[in-house]
């Protein structure tokens, strides 16, 4: 039997999945670094064995996540403002 998720349930599922993914990535990064961390530098871009490419990919991923989070926060702000405007228009009538 399939169930149809409401928008609240879907949003809750997405939030939980994002939090789980963030926790997992954090744990992998912390366990993978070990004692090799030099002043917060996780990837040596000038190192051998292709680490410069890894540093570029990590930078691109970070910038992509930054812009995605900014877009998401702006979207939430616009929805909140629209809801407040609708509430004011409804109470003014």
Q: Domain spans of the chain?
A: 1-35, 42-93
CB-based contacts of 39, cutoff 8 Å, min separation 6: none
Q: Please give the residue that has the higher pLDDT: either 63 or 34.
A: 63
Q: What is the mean pLDDT of residues 79-91?
A: 83
CA gap 76, 60 in Å, rounded? 24
Q: Which two tokens stand for residue 40?
A: 């917060």
> Does the pLDDT at position 28 exceed 90?
no
Report the candidate in 38, 42, 11, 12 with the shortest Cα–Cα distance to residue 26. Answer: 42
pLDDT of residue 1: 42
Mean per-residue pLDDT of the chain: 79
pLDDT tens for each residue of 46-79: 767 666 787 888 889 999 999 998 888 888 888 8
DSSP bridge pairs for 38? 41
> Does the pLDDT at position 31 exceed 90?
no
């Amino acid at each position: 039997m399939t169930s149809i998720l409401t928008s609240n349930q879907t949003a809750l599922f997405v939030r939980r999945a994002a939090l789980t993914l963030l926790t997992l990535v954090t744990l992998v990064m912390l366990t993978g670094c070990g004692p090799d961390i030099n002043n917060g530098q996780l990837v040596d871009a000038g190192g051998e064995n292709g680490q410069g490419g890894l540093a570029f990919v990590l930078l691109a991923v970070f910038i992509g996540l930054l812009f995605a989070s900014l877009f998401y926060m702006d979207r939430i702000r616009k929805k909140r403002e629209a809801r407040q405007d609708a509430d004011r228009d409804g109470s003014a009538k």
